Structure 1
Amino acid sequence: MTTSSVRPRVALPSLTLVQRLGLLAGVVAFIIPLAIDIPGLEPAGERMLAIFLLAILLWVTEAIPLYATATLVILLQVLMLSDQALVGGIGPLPPAASYFAALANPVIILFLGGFLIADGAHKYGLDRNLAAVLLRPFAGNARRSVLGLMAITALLSMFVSNTATAATMFAVVIPILAALPTGPARTGVALAIPVAANVGGIGTPVGSPPNAIALGALEAQGQGVSFIGWMFLAVPLMLVVLLFAWWFLTRRYIKADTPLVLELSANFDRSPAAIIFYVIAGSTVLLWLTEPLHGISSSTVGFIPVVALLATQVMSADDLRRLQWPVLWLVAGGIALGAGIGNSGLDAWLIGLLSWDALPLALLLLLLVGVSVGLSTVISNSATANLLVPLALSLAIGLPIDPTAVGVMVALACSLAMALPISTPPNAVAYATGEVPTSAMALSGFVIGGFGALLLALAMPSLWGALGLL
C-alpha cells in the first residue's frame, strides 16, 4: 500500500476594503495623467506623475506589500521612461539600466553590510551580551535603570535594525516586567524600549531605512554625506530627544522608589567563528567612523564585511536568505522614484504649484517636518521618506538653506513618528507584549515626537550652520 502526499494549496491573502479601494484608486490615478493633458507638464512628467500617484496610493493603503510597490515603480519607469519604453515620442530618455541600477545603488550595498553585521550580532549573541554588560552601571535605581535600558537600546539601534534591537531588548526586559507590580511602571518600562529604538535609529546611516533613502537621493544630486558626517548631524538631536523621552516616561510612569532588578548575566561566545565575527564587525564600525581619515566610502566599507564574513564562512547562505531583502528593495524603489521625479521634470512642476518662497523659512521647515511625522505615523516611515525626500530636495533649491539639511531633516522626522502600534516595527513589538495600552503609546509618541519635531525644525538647522557641518 502506498500513500501519496498532497501538497497543501497556497491561498492568496484576502484584501481588506481599504486595500481594495487603494487598488482601484491607484489604477484610476495612474490613468488620469496619461489620458488628459496637464498644463505646464511635459509628456515625460505626465508619465512620471502617473507612476508617482500610483505609488502614493499603494504605499498609503498597503494594497500590495510595500516592497512590491517599490519594484513596480522600477518596472513602470523602465517601460514608460527609459530607452526601452513601450511607447516613445517624448524625447531622449535615460537607459533602462539607470533605473535597474537602483537595486545595486551604493546605499543598498551599505545597508547590505549593516544588515549582515546585525544578523551576525544576533547569531553569536553579541547584541544581548553587550546589553547585559553595558547595563551594569545603571543597576540599583528604577529611573537610572530605565535610562540605561534606553541608552543601550539607542546605541544598538544605531548599528542594528530597530526591529531586531527592540526584540533583543525585550528579551532582557520581559523578566523585569514580570517582576514589577501591575501598573504604570510596567507601561513605562515597556514604552522605553520602542521609543529608544526609534530615536536611536536616526544616529547613523544604517540605523533606519529613511536614512538610506535620504542618502541615496543626496548622492544622486552630488551631495553625499559620509558616515561620520551623518552622525555629526543626527547624534546631537538623538541625545537631546532621548534624554527628554527618559525624563517624560519616568516622571509620568515610574516612581523613584520603584524596585527594579536587572538580570545582567553575560556569556560571550568564544568560538573561533564568533571571534572572527567580533573582529570583522568591530573593524567595519571603526572604518565607518574614520571615513574622513582613510577616504574609503562608507558603501565600500559596508561591502567589506559581506565578503569577509562569507569567505570565512562565519556567515552562510542561510544567513544571506534571512537578510531583510524586502527593506532593501523598498529603499531601491525610493531611490528609483526620486531619480524619475528629477529626470522627468515632475519635481519642478509640483514645486511650482505653490509659492513656497512666500512662506518664512522657519514655517516652511516646520511644515515639512510636520508632514513627515504625520504621514509616517499612519504609513511606513520608509514609504513616507520615498515620497517626500525627492520633493523636499527639489523644494530646497533656491531657498536660503543647504539642500543636504532638508534631506536629512525629512529622514530624521520620519523616525520621530511613534504614536501608534503601526507607526514602527518597535512599536508593534512593544504593543504585542500586552504591557502598552494604545492610549499610552499615543500620548508618549505625540509628546516625544512633537518635541523632537520642533527641535529638528526650529533649532537643528541653526546649530548645524553654527558648527560648520553644512
Structure 2
Amino acid sequence: MSTATARPRVNLPRLTLVQRLGLLLGLIAFLVPLLIEIPSLEPAGRRMLAIFLLAILFWVSEAIPLYATAVLVILLEVLMLSDQALVGVAGTLPPAASYFAALANPVIILFLGGFLIADGARKFGLDRSLAAVMLRPFAGNARLSLLGLMMITALLSMFVSNTATTATMFAVVIPILAALPKGRARTGVALAIPVAANVGGIGTPVGSPPNAIALGALEASGQGISFIGWMLLAVPLMVVVLLFAWWFLTRRYIAAETPLALELSADFDRSPAAVIFYLIAGATILLWLTEPFHGIASSTVGFLPVVALLATQVMGADDIKRLQWPVLWLVAGGIALGAGIGASGLDLWLIGLVAWEALPLTLLLLLLVGVSVGLSTVISHSAAANLLVPLTLSLAIGLPIDPTAVGVMVALACALGMALPISTPPNAIAYATGEVPTSEMIVSGVVIGGFGALLLALVMPSLWTALGLL
C-alpha cells in the first residue's frame, strides 16, 4: 500500500500596506482617464494615459512584481491600442505585433548577449581575475575602490553600450559584493555601476542612443555638431556629475573606515572551453568598442556571442536557464510603454499642457530638463529622446537660445532619468542582483539625477556660451 506524498502548499505573498495602496491607486488612476472626458486628448491618448498612470503607480509601489507590470503593459496595449483591440477606437492603430516586438527589441538582444557574457565570466572565474587586475591600484579601501569602479565603468560607457558595460562590470563586481558585509555597503557598490554607466554614456555621440537621436534631429534641422564638439559640451558635465555621484554614494552607503580586503588572484582558466570563451567575449567587446568603424549595430554584435557560445557548446541549456529573464521582460515593458505613448498621441498632449513661449528662459530650461528627466525615468531613454528632442527643437525656434543647446540638453537630461529599475537596462541589471531595493534606487536616482539636471539647466548653457562652444 503506497502512501500519497503530500503536495507542498503554495502560498501567495502577503502584500504590504504600500503595495495594497499602490494596487488601489493604480486601478483608480487607470479608470479615471477612461471614465472622464479629458479636453483635447483623443480616445487613444486617454487609453494610453490610463495604462501610463497604472504602470507608474505599480512600478513605484511594486504592487505586483516589476516584470509582471511590464508584461501587463504590453497586454493592455494590445487589448486597448492595437488592431486587435477589444473595443475599437477612431484612427489607425498599430498592429499587435509591434507591441509584442518589444520582447525581441534590439535592446533586449543586446541585453541577452551581455548577460550571457557575464554568466560565462562567472562560470570560468574570469570575473574574479579581472577584479584582481583592475582594482589593484584602488585596493584596501572601499571608498577608493568605488571610485575606481565608477571611473572604469564611465570610461567604457563613453564608447560601449551602457547595457553591455554594466553587464561586463557586474561580472567584476559580484566578488566585491561577496567580500562586503550584507547591508548598505553592498547597496552602494551595486548602485554605483548603473549610475556610472548612465552618466558616462553622455560623454560621446556613441555613448547612448539619445545622443545619436539628438545628433540626427540636429542635422535634420541644419544644426549639425561634430564628434569632438559633442564631447566638449558633454564631458565637463559628465565628470562633475560622476564625482558628485561618488561623493553621495560613499557618504550615504559606505563608512570611511569600511575595509575592502579582496583576496583575489589573477588565476585565469586555461582550459580549451575557457580559451574559446575568452576569444568570443574579447571579440564581442572589441566589436562594441569599434562600432563607429565597422558599422555593425551593438545589438547585432550582442547576438554574436549567444550564437557562438551555444554553437561551440562552451555554454548550454543550463546557462540559458540562469539568465535573468524577468529583467529582460522588465526592460521590454518600458520599451512598449514608450512605443504606446508615441503611437497614441499622448506625447503631444503632454507637451501641449504648457505654454512654453510665455515662460522666462531659465524656467523654460528647467522645465525642459525636468520633463526629459521625468519621462526618461518611467520609459526608456531612447523612447523619451525620440519623443522630446524633435518637439523641443521646434519649441526652441524663436527663443533666445541656440537650438543646438536645447537638443543636446534634452539628450543629456534623458540620461539622468535613473530612479527606477525600469528607467534603464543598467538599472535593471543592478536590481537583478537583489542588493538594490527600489526605494534606494529612487533616492539615489532623484538626488544624483536632480543635481545633474540643475547643473545642466542653470550652469551649462552659460558655460558653453562663455567658452564659445555654441
Contact in 2 for aligned 1:241/1:451 (Cα 8 Å):
yes
- What is the aligned counterpart of 1:168 among 166, 175, 179? 175
Unpaired runs of 5+ in structure 2?
202-206, 220-226, 397-402, 422-426
Identity %: 65
CA contact (8 A) 2:146 2:189 kept: no
TM-score, length of structure 1 as denominator length: 0.74
CA 1:395–1:116: 2 relative to 1, 3 Å: same
- How far off is 1:8 after superposition? 0.5
**What is the CA deviation profile of residues 175-212 of structure 1, one whole-angstrom value per residue up to 9, with x for unaligned ones?**
xx9xxxxxxxx98x76863453243221677xxxxx98
1:146/1:197 Cα in 2 relative to 1: closer, same or farther (>3 Å)?
closer
The answer to whether the 8 A contact 1:392-1:406 is kept is no
Closer, same or farther in 2 for the Cα pair 1:149/1:216, shift >3 Å?
Answer: closer
Name the structure 2 match of 1:19.
19
How many Å separate the matches in 1 of 2:95 and 2:313?
Answer: 38
Distance verdict in 2 for CA 1:389–1:74, change over 3 Å: farther
Q: What is the distance in 2 between the residues matched to 1:29 and 1:259?
A: 47
* 1:393/1:406 contact within 8 Å kept: no
- 2:105 maps to a residue whose letter is N
Residue 109 of structure 2 contacts residue 299 of structure 2 at CA under 8 Å; is this kept in 1?
yes
* 1:135 alignment counterpart: 135
1:248, distance to aligned residue in structure 2 (A): 7.1
1:44-83 → structure 2 map (5 Å cutoff)? 44-83=44-83
Once the two structures are TM-superposed, the CA of residue 412 in structure 1 deviates from its matched residue by: 2.4
Q: How far, CA to CA, are the matches of 1:327 and 1:465 in structure 2?
A: 42
Partner of 1:283: 283
Gap regions ≥5 residues in structure 1: 178-185, 206-210, 432-437
Partner secondary structure for residue 11 of structure 2: coil
User: Superposed, which structure 2 residues align to 1:335-354 within 5 Å?
Assistant: 335-354=335-354
The answer to whether the 8 Å contact 1:118/1:160 transfers is: no
- Aligned 8 A contact 1:416 1:452 in 2: no
Task: Kindly provide the amino acid, as one letter, of the partner of residue 337 in structure 2.
Answer: L
- The verdict on how the C-alpha distance between 1:195 and 1:23 changes in structure 2, with shifts beyond 3 A counting, is closer
Q: How many residues align?
A: 435
Taking the aligned partners of 1:293 and 1:212, their CA distance within structure 2 comes to: 16
Contact kept in structure 1, 2:44 and 2:89, CA below 8 Å: no
TM-score by length of 2: 0.74
CA RMSD of aligned residues (A): 4.8
Q: 1:106 to 1:468 in 2, by over 3 A?
A: farther
Q: Write the distance in 2 (CA, Å) between the matches of 1:399 and 1:215.
A: 19
Query: Counterparts of 2:435 and 2:323 in 1: how far apart (Å)?
Result: 19
1:68 Cα deviation after fit: 1.3
- Is the contact between residue 419 and residue 444 of structure 2 (CA under 8 Å) also seen in structure 1? no
User: Is the Cα–Cα contact under 8 Å of residues 15 and 63 in structure 1 kept in the other structure?
Assistant: yes
In the TM superposition, residue 120 of structure 1 has moved relative to its aligned partner by 1.6
**CA drift at 1:126:** 1.6
- Match for 2:418 among 390, 411, 415? 415
Cα distance change, pair 63–95 in 1 and its aligned pair in 2 (3 A): same
Distance (whole Å) between structure 2 residues aligned to residue 464 and residue 111 of structure 1: 35
Q: 1:387 to 1:16 in 2, by over 3 A?
A: farther
Give the secondary structure class of the aligned counterpart of 1:160: helix
1:30-60 Cα offsets, whole Å, 9 max, x none, are 2222223222122222222222222222222
Task: Name the CA distance, whole Å, in 2 between partners of 1:247 and 1:455.
Answer: 16
Residue correspondence of structure 1 range 311-460 to structure 2 within 5 A: 311-360=311-360, 363-367=363-367, 392-393=388-389, 396-400=392-396, 401=403, 405=408, 408-415=411-418, 425=431, 429=435, 451-458=451-458
Asked if 2 retains the 8 angstrom alpha-carbon contact of 1:288 and 1:298, the reply is yes
Deviation string for 1:316-347 (max 9, x for gaps)? 22221222222221222222222221121111
Deviates more, 1:232-241 or 1:300-309: 232-241
Q: 1:429 aligns to what SS in structure 2?
A: coil
CA distance in 2, matches of 1:57, 1:114: 30
Contact 2:49–2:346 under 8 Å retained in 1: yes
Query: Are residues 324 and 191 of structure 1, via their aligned partners in 2, closer, same or farther at CA, if it must alter by over 3 Å?
Result: closer
Residue 113 of structure 2 corresponds to: 113
One-letter identity of the residue aligned with 1:413: L
Go from structure 1 to structure 2 and tell me whether the alpha carbon gap of 1:139 and 1:33 turns closer, same or farther (over 3 Å shift).
closer
Matched with 1:180 is: none
